[in-house]
Amino acid sequence: MSDDSRASWGSKIGLILASAGSAVGLGNLWRFPYIAAQNGGGSFLLIYLLFTFSIGITLVFAESALGIKTKSDPTGAFGWINPRLKIIGIIGVLTSAIIVPYYSVVGGWIVAYIVKSFSTISIENFETHFTDFISSPVQPLLFFYIYLLSTATVVYFGIENGIEKFCKLMMPLLFLLLIVLMVRVLTLDNALDGVKFFFLPDFSKVTAKTFLNAMGQVFFSISAGMGIYITYGSYVKNNDTPVAKTMYSVVILDVMVSLLTGLTIFPAVFSFGLPMNAGPALTFITLPKVFSAITFGQFFGFIFFVILLGAAITSSISLMEVVTTYLCDQVKISRKKAIFYYTLVCLVTGTLVSLSFGKLSGFKIGGKILFDQFDYLASNILLPVGGFLTAIAIGWVLGPEKLVISKNKALQKGFEFCIKWIAPICVFFILLNAVGLI
């Protein structure tokens, strides 16, 4: 890793905030509600929580501990376990290269909504306004370029100083605003139906697919399975940092933001009688409707989308940083060049992804437009595969006892058991099912 990027966090809180910045993002505020809605609400929530506090948290601990120990990028870290395992780091890089383009397309929508929040859209038009916007050939592309170039600029200037300060400001604001919104939405008519849908499990809706989707959501939401925490952990100076004690808060924060989002979106959906199957459009149609119904709604709308943008950019930065660090380190090109080439690749793929809502909507792979295909491939396949291989590498090749995540014996033993048995077995069977082998 080049020297300029190998700085260290100012404090433990730096690691926590940067990690939370990566974890909390579109996965919580945009993806979680519509995936939960498509998968039956309460039953999905239960499986999502189960996976988060078993497989998810174990991988966060494992990746962070590996980063802190090896002080290396993901390929170097896995290479330290065994040179042949470098491939696991490369899968992470590939995953990032797939997530960034479509993540940034949604990032572009947010930028557009911030601009739009200055003008009023009449209430009947929210649905058509959104679908017209994302399917038009020029506008979404322009906003996507703005978002992508802003992300690249932040990564270019380095993240240590910027990201710590940025997250410190953004996270509390995000929580505060979500709570205000949630309280307001919960007092709307029929709001309770939404709460019931979100919390009451309906097991008749649970299929093998629900497990795959919940697992995909867990990996995506906490940024597990592609070496983010290895990279961030490698910037920790103090090798004695208690991993579990430090990193559990990242997982808790991430889950809390998802819960707050669910408690805002579902009551809103029910009280406005909106369709539950709106898919990626859910946040962009439902929330503006809520904002238009509350006092100072336009102002709240503006603030909400600014915060959403902040949350998204801190995640994009972490995704881009993994690829940049890899290119500097392994391909041995300068940081400037790495960002330039990578941004170019994202520009091209992102353009195709954005157009898949309009001009290219006829082009489908396996019945899915490019946008959905990218998301499916990254969240449901590549991240879990990365997580599975991470668990095998640590649980079976390195030996989990070599990574100390806590001085508490029971916790350490629980971690070792999870990384060795629970995580790989669960992920393996769900993936087998996904590809139709069982």
Which CB sits closer to ligand PHE, 222 or 290?
222
Residue ranges with strand state E in 281-420: 364-365, 368-369
Interface residue with ligand PHE among 16, 17, 23, 405 (CB under 6 A) is 23
Stretch that binds ligand PHE, among 59-67, 112-120, 270-278, 314-322 (CB under 6 A): 314-322
Q: Is 220 helix (H, G, I), strand (E, B) or coil?
A: helix
Q: Is 319 in the site for ligand PHE (CB under 6 A)?
A: yes
For residue 70, state whether it binds ligand PHE (rule: CB under 6 A): no
Distance of closest approach, residue 61 Cβ to ligand PHE, in angstroms: 16
Token digits of residue 419:
């990384």
Among positions 164-203, residues that touch ligand PHE (CB under 6 A) are none
Which of 283, 315, 324, 406 touches ligand PHE (CB under 6 A)? 315
Q: Does 19 bind ligand PHE (CB under 6 A)?
A: no
For residues 77 to 106, the per-residue mask of contacts with ligand PHE, x marking binding by CB under 6 A and - elsewhere, is ----------------------x-------
Least distance CB 86 / ligand PHE (angstroms): 19
Of 40, 131, 85, nearest to 386 by C-alpha is 85
Give the range of 36-44, 203-211, 219-227, 301-309 binding ligand PHE by CB under 6 A. Answer: 219-227
User: Does 27 engage in binding with ligand PHE (CB under 6 A)?
Assistant: yes
Residue 358, SS3 per DSSP: coil
d(CA 323, CA 223): 14
Does position 268 interact with ligand PHE (CB under 6 A)? The reply is no
Instruction: State yes or no: residue 223 binds ligand PHE (CB under 6 A).
Output: yes
Contacts of 122 (CB under 8 A, 6+ apart): none
Residue 301 binding ligand PHE, by CB under 6 A:
no
Please tell me whether residue 36 binds ligand PHE under the rule CB under 6 A: no
In the chain the first and final C-alpha atoms are separated, in Å, by: 42
CA distance 376 to 190: 33
Q: Does 325 bind ligand PHE (CB under 6 A)?
A: no
SS3 46: helix
Half-sphere exposure of 206 (CA within 13 A, CB side): 13
Helix residue spans in 331-393 (DSSP H):
335-355, 370-375, 383-392
DSSP state of 331: S
Report if residue 247 touches ligand PHE, rule: CB under 6 A. no
Contact by Cβ (8 Å): 57, 252: no
CB distance 126 to 268 below 8 Å: no
Of the pair 102, 126, the CB lying nearest ligand PHE is at 102
Determine the residue type at 371: F
318 binds ligand PHE (CB under 6 A): yes
- Look up residue 371 and give its two tokens: 């946008």
Q: Least distance to ligand PHE from the beta carbon of 335, Å?
A: 19
220 or 342: CB nearest ligand PHE? 220
CA–CA separation, 33 and 27 (whole Å) = 9
Cβ distance to ligand PHE smaller for residue 264 or 315: 315
Interface with ligand PHE by CB under 6 A: which residues? 22-23, 25-28, 99, 220-221, 223, 226, 228, 315, 318-319
